[in-house]
Amino acid sequence: MLVVMLIERRWTFAMMIVPGLLGCGASALLALSRLRDGRRRPGDGAMPAAGDGRSPSDADPSREGPRVAFGAIESRTWESLALPPPDEEPLAWRHIVRRWLEPPSMEAVIGMSADGPFPLDLSRRGPHALVAGTTGSGKSVLLQTWCLSLACRNPPSRLRFVFLDFKGGSAFSALARMPHVAGNVCDLDLAHATRALEALEGELRRRERLVAEHHAADVDRLADPPPRLMIVVDEFHALRSQLPDYVGRLVRIAALGRSLGMHLVACTQNPQGQVSADMKANIAVNICLRVRDPMQSRELLGTSDAASISPSLPGAAYCSDGESLEALRCCEARDIDAAVDAVLSAQRFCALPPAEPLFSAPLPRLADVTPIMDEMRSRGGVESDAVPFAVSDDGVRLGTATLSVMLGNVAVVGQRGRGRSTVLSVVAAMLRDVPSVQLRVSRRGAHGVESSIVRGPARVLTDADAAARTHGAAPPPHPRMVWLADDADPLLDPLGDDPLCAEFRAALLDPAITVVFTALTMRHVRVPEHCTTRIVFPTGDRPTDLSAGIPSDLLARFTPEDLDTPGRAVFLDRGRATPIQCLREVPRAIP
């Protein structure tokens, strides 16, 4: 182009091309010079022979290669680093008890470095950590050792764990028995995993309120601080792909966890593109085991050294906290079950309660009535204003759903075979021996709706009551009528001709009578004239379920399995909508 411009005597354009031509030439000469210097060994100018097995780091004697560096580090088991020798202390649990009596600390020995044991204090250098490494590099072993070391250093009253294993649940199955574990979920049950993330969000808000109420800067300044919570996520990239809407909760924990005593340890095979910039900005400790791509190593460490770790050295890693880069070999527990048994023995010796579960499993397909019956017996029977009939789910924990028969009528709406009649049977069995309740039951028979009084007033005026009345005391209360009406659609029909229609409609408006009735649809049910509380069995038809009162966000959480499960319903009471699983078996009368 320069030659053409000179021939045509376009001097202005030729002068514009000259600077660019000089710059390109200088860049080409510099690149050739660097390439020539890189191919030569310092001092002799010889190239390494092809196939001689030497890596670029081996070709440069000024740089010690990763294989040589890790080979010089002693390999030790976790027991030899964290526990005294058996001849000094034959019972490991006694050593753990002594460590628990010391001030709490988040420092744990996770391996060996060139200078000896490698301790990592997550509260001082963290408070969060990111672990990366390819399959077989030793990520799960590192997490197990780390959690086991912290459990032997802190009692369950000062440290709790929540394990989120998105690798099938094998990583933390051995540690799940520790008394420190407040939750353990895997990707085989995503509904359980979402509950765990919802519970962590709720725990974050609870700690925020606790700090704000005491006007403290962080939980460590409280007189009775809550135990530290360590959240360990194995295969974070799988969590991100399967539950993308819930990753923001972990990002918020990473942003606010330092002052609230919450620590996050995320483990992934590929940190590139899987961990957001907001999350990385709050993670100070990066541990990189062997990776395949030098870019993955640079993502965490700022250098490609982790890509040169030999596959024959599982557990070899680099740890960076932003100030220093250290090479280490992670230690492995020789017998995890024996170590967990020692922790359990120490917990029993100290009489410490295990960690309270932070969340529970989702609603079961069959609700077991035995625990509820045992609880009722321990309280001496059923209270007339709180009749248990189902297991409730608030999205995090399971509880017991109760009907308040003193606060208005109850409608049970759903198709046949869903469990409507079973609800009435459970309520009838629970109220059968309550002295302050008069029970009436109506069922559809061959000749229309048949009604009967199951039990009349149980309280008889005694001599003590008569004496109390003579002294001006109030008379004993009259039993409250509870009318249980099954298949009440004919009674609710404004044009119905059943003989009980008029009496039933009058009972619905009588504040002294509580009517619990079942219906196929909400067609003839008026809220709040007929009922203030509803139990709705979803049909699967969205317009029908929405018109029955089920909120759209709750209806979206119902899966096809939920719709096919008998007894699965929504409890609508005083402005709250709660998923429930109705008790399947009719309990016997409570003595």
Phi, psi of 472 (to 5 degrees): 90, 10
In sequence order, what E strands does 331-395 have?
Answer: 387-393
Per the annotation, does 136 bind a ligand?
yes
CA dihedral angle for residue 298, residue 300, residue 301, residue 305, rounded to 10 degrees: -50
Lay out the sheet containing 576-582: strands in order across: 398-403, 387-393, 576-582, 568-573, 533-536, 410-413, 513-519, 480-485, 437-445, 448-455
CA–CA gap between residue 138 and residue 329 (Å, rounded): 10
* Strands 285-288 vs 228-234: parallel, antiparallel or unpaired: unpaired
Per the annotation, does 280 bind a ligand?
no
3-state secondary structure 70-137: HHCCCCCEHHHHHCCCCCCCCCHHHHHHHHHCCCCCCEEEEEEECCEEEEEEHHHHCCCEEEECCCCC
Report CA torsion sign: 411, 417, 419, 424: positive
Per the annotation, does 51 bind a ligand?
no
Q: What six digits make up the tokens of 547? A: 């018109």
CA–CA gap between residue 550 and residue 571 (Å, rounded): 9
* Strands 262-268 vs 228-234: parallel, antiparallel or unpaired: parallel
Those residues whose C-beta lies under 8 Å from the C-beta of residue 393, and which sit 6 or more positions away, are: 362, 363, 399, 578, 579, 580, 581
Q: Do 581 and 367 meet the contact criterion of CB atoms below 8 Å apart?
A: yes
Cβ neighbours of 459 (radius 10 Å): 12
What DSSP element (H or E) covers 278?
helix 277-280
Q: Do 7 and 1 meet the contact criterion of CB atoms below 8 Å apart?
A: no
Per the annotation, does 544 bind a ligand?
no
How far does Cα 246 stand from its chain's mean position?
Answer: 10
Annotated binding site for ATP: 133-140
Annotated binding site: 133-140
